[in-house]
Every structure is written in structure tokens, then in C-alpha cells.
Chains A and B, each alone.
Chain A
Amino acid sequence: MQTVTMEVKNEDVADAIRTLLGRILALDEIDAVMVPGRLPGSRSVMPLLIHDPDQLDNSDPLSPAFALNAAKQVCRLTRTATPKRVAAVLRPCEIRAFIELVKLKQGLREQVIIIGSDCPGAYPNKIFDALTREGDDSGADHGYVKRPSVDESSLSKACRACEHPMPTGADLAVCLWGVDTGREVMVDAQTDSGREILDRLGLKATPLPDQRAAAVETVVAERTRFRDSMFAETAAATDSLEKLDHYFAHCVNCYNCRTACPVCYCRQCVFETNLFDHDPLQYLSWTRRKGMIKMPTDTIFYHLTRLAHMSTACVGCGQCSNACPNDIDVMSLFRTVAHRTQAAFDYQAGRDVAERPPLSEFREHEFADTAGLHWRKEA
């Protein structure tokens, strides 16, 4: 079966998705479902691994919270083969990150049924916290689903600049845009596994509505415009080393951006090794040469190296900015650079599990003008 419809009652789209998850969890071959949900007694929304169908009431599959990119959690569940599979509800950027991690041998794609949905975007942690603190406890449903005209400015910048809000790569795609979500949501199978699952759920088949393509295009066009102006602003703000220094002036080398990054998969980052426990004389030699240095050192070195190491895998989820204690706009810079590095290799992170990461392969005949002395004679 290709596409099915799920009835929406009382305009509660999230509940329709919960019903879908309940049916999937009831299948013999599915052991558990990972889905964002409220921790009991808390305002916090985190990925929950649910085995007991009764616990699905805690799930909040369309929550506007985005505490972490759950791709690494899916890797924990799929590192080795298990007798049964799990299902996971993921944002499009989490799906892309997981696909990158599968390529890097951190998880097994076939061990998980991925359920994605059109992504209206998420709030930064601080804004979600403030909103729920003010007593807006309705978080079960995403305001943007109900009110397409919601003021987007409170959404995370990464989400506003996200030109891939579709759950590409998911087994099952929950379609919200171009669908009358007051009445129904549609679930579209995007893989063979997805079709097999739908066949066994006993739901009503339906074609996708014609207006869907146009609705998707509108969202993508708006976000692409936002993204392009973000690229231009960020490039202008960092086009010299001095400006780059200013951009990261508040960086305290906490490496939270690295920890939060779903595609930074090294067990131990070189920046956390004793390679950077410099001899005291080294610092003195630097300050003698420059007259003054900032402590801790190696800040720009760290960010440039991370750009070189992971920008080709950057999926633009924005968790680096979310994790920064000093509100540095890390995401804008990483996306700006990643856009160029991925284009250089005709690559798009998370697009296709069959594509190999650009730096893990090579061709004999390529990039002819990269080798040999070639001068760009600027004016």
C-alpha cells in the first residue's frame, strides 16, 4: 500500500500520529518505538523509547521542542542487529544525520523503521523553556500545524533556513502540508519496508492530494530565501580572520557544539586530547610573538578544523547553536561553509544512504585543476 489516511479527531493531529504509532507497536516484529515525549512530571521533551503501548500517551510526536538531535540515539539502538526492529519518529534533519552516521558505520539502517513528518520547525531550547514556563502547556500539538500563519521568528534560525523540511529517507512520511489536517493526515510509504508496514496496518488507502506539491513548494521557497540571506550575511561577517575572531569572541572552548553535533562521531575528538595541553613555554612564546593572546587558545583552530572534518556531513539541524552557552551563531557559519563544501563534491548530506561521504572515496580522474601550480590572477 502506498498512502493511507488517518482520521484526525478534535483537531488533534498528534493524537492521530499516536494512533499510528500504536498500530505499528502492535506489530510482532517491532519491539519498541522511539518518539519525543514529555517526561512524567516535567516540562522537558526528550526522545522516549516506548515498549508499553499505554505509555504512548506520554509521546508528543509533533512537539516543537528539539532538545537534541536524536540520530545518535538511533545509532545506540541499531549499532548491532537485534531480532526485532525498532521504529523511530524523527525530524527530517535527524533522519539526514542518521543516514550520514549509517554511512560512517555507526548504525544499521535496516534495523529501524523511520517515521518522519513534514517539519514545521522547532524552538530553541531557551524559547521552548520560556514558553512552557509561562504555562502554555498545550505543547502536545505544534502551533504551526494549526496556525500556518504563526510568527516564525521565534522558531530556531536553523529551522527557518531549512530548505529540506520533508522527511526524505523515512520509511513512512506523515504528510501535513497540502492536507486538510483538521480532518485527516496522510501517511505515505517511501520505501519497501514502509509499504510492507502499511499493508499490515489495515488502514484506508488514499491518493495524496494534488495541492500538496504546491504547498510544499511554498514552504521550501520561503525557507530557501531566508537561508540565502543568512548565507550572505554570515559570509560578510566572517570574510577575514579578524572578523572570524570577532564572530567567536564569546567562545570559551567548551566544545558543546561538538558534543551536540550529530555527525561529529569520533569517540575522542583531537581537541580533547593531550595534544592541546601545551607546554607553558608555548603560551609564553605565543604571547611574546603577538604581544597578547586570548586564553584559552586554539579557538579559531578548533572551529576551522571542525569545519574541515565535518562540514561535508553537516545536515543543518542547528543543535550547535542550541548548545552554545554564549549564544554564538555557530549554525549559520557551519551551514554557510557546508553549503559550499558539499557543492564542491556534488554532495548533499543525508540525501541518499548509497552515496559515500566525499572524503571517504576518490576517483583517479577528478579535480584536475587542484593539483599543479595554478594561480588565480586577481585584479
Chain B
Amino acid sequence: MQSFEPLIIAFVCNWCTYTAADLAGTSRLTYPSNVRLIRVMCTGMVDPQYIIKAFLEGADAVLVSGCHPGDCHYINGNFKARRRIRLLKEILPQFGFEADRLQLTWIGASDGIQFTQTMRELTERTRELGPVASRSQMVF
């Protein structure tokens, strides 16, 4: 298990967290390559099924990250996302997914440093958790 490298899927909103990732890049900051970003227009459009799909297809952790409360470009998409994450944190752990594998963060457009720190911390924690138990035995 020493060579376990987690795969992390991050759904990031176009206006805040994706922009923070862009800022991190232009500032020549680095973060673990375990994280694969999927840019969405708003965290409010992340249907729970996207997250479930990511987990079933091999993600060891999923991050949804958008604007701070009050900063959503669509006024309240991030609040809707928070309820959906709350919902999934109730459902997924019942089937053996540790609650820590699903995270929601608010990272603003100017938070390039915070973006890289978050990605590092999430990667470390997922590495500790190891691969999702018994997923490899699933045949769907």
C-alpha cells in the first residue's frame, strides 16, 4: 500500500475556486497532481449523481469548491451545494465511504495560496485513508 496514490476529483466553480487555481498557476505555486479539476459554472450545478459517479469510477476523494457565502455569482448556488453535500454525507458513509472522502470548501478567486494548501491537505488525508474499501470487488 506504500505506493498508493489517491485520485481526487475536484468540482470547482468557474468564478472563485477555478480562478484561485489559475492564480496559483500564474503565481507558480504547486499542488499535488493527484487532484483532477473539473470546472463547473457554479457549485450549485453539481448534481449528487456527479459525485456518486466519481466515487464509483475510481475517485478516492471528491471535493466540491466554490465561492464564499455571499459571493456566489448566481446568488445562492453555493448554499444549494451545501445542502446536497450534507445529504451525501448522510448517504455515502452507510456504504463504506468514510465521510472525510467528500469535502466542500469555499475558496475565493484571490485565495491561490489557500487553494494549494487545501489540495495538499486533502491529498494527505486521502492517502491516510487509503483506497475505497471493496470497490475493486464491485462488478457494478
Query: Which residue in chain B gives the minimum CB-CB distance to A309?
Result: B48
Contact B88 A242 (CB under 8 A): no
Interface stretch, picked from B6-14, B32-40, B132-140, is: B132-140
Instruction: Give the contacting residue for B106; candidates A243, A301, A304, A371; CB below 8 A.
Output: A371
Name A's B-contacting residues (CB within 8 A). Answer: 235, 238-245, 270, 290, 292-294, 297-301, 304-305, 307-309, 311-312, 336-337, 340-341, 344-345, 358-359, 362-364, 366-367, 370-376, 378
A363 to chain B, nearest CB (A): 8
Contact A373 B140 (CB under 8 A): no
Contacts of B76 in A (CB 8 A): 362
Contact B104 A371 (CB under 8 A): yes
Query: Which residue in chain B gives the minimum CB-CB distance to A371?
Result: B104
Name B's A-contacting residues (CB within 8 A). Answer: 48-49, 52-53, 56, 69, 76, 79-80, 82-91, 94-96, 98-100, 103-106, 118, 121-122, 125, 132-140
Instruction: Give the contacting residue for A362; candidates B53, B79, B135, B140; CB below 8 A.
Output: B79
B4 to chain A, nearest CB (A): 17
Q: Is the interface of A mostly helix, strand, loop or mixed?
A: helix
Query: Which residue in chain A gives the minimum CB-CB distance to B79?
Result: A362
Contact A308 B106 (CB under 8 A): no
Contact B87 A242 (CB under 8 A): no
Contacts of B100 in A (CB 8 A): 375-376
Cα separation A307 to B48 with both chains bound (whole Å): 10
Cα separation A301 to B91 with both chains bound (whole Å): 13
If A300-B138, A308-B49, A371-B82 touch, whether A359 touches B56 (CB-CB below 8 Å) is no
Cα separation A366 to B89 with both chains bound (whole Å): 15
Query: Which residue in chain B gives the minimum CB-CB distance to A234?
Result: B94
Contact B91 A244 (CB under 8 A): no
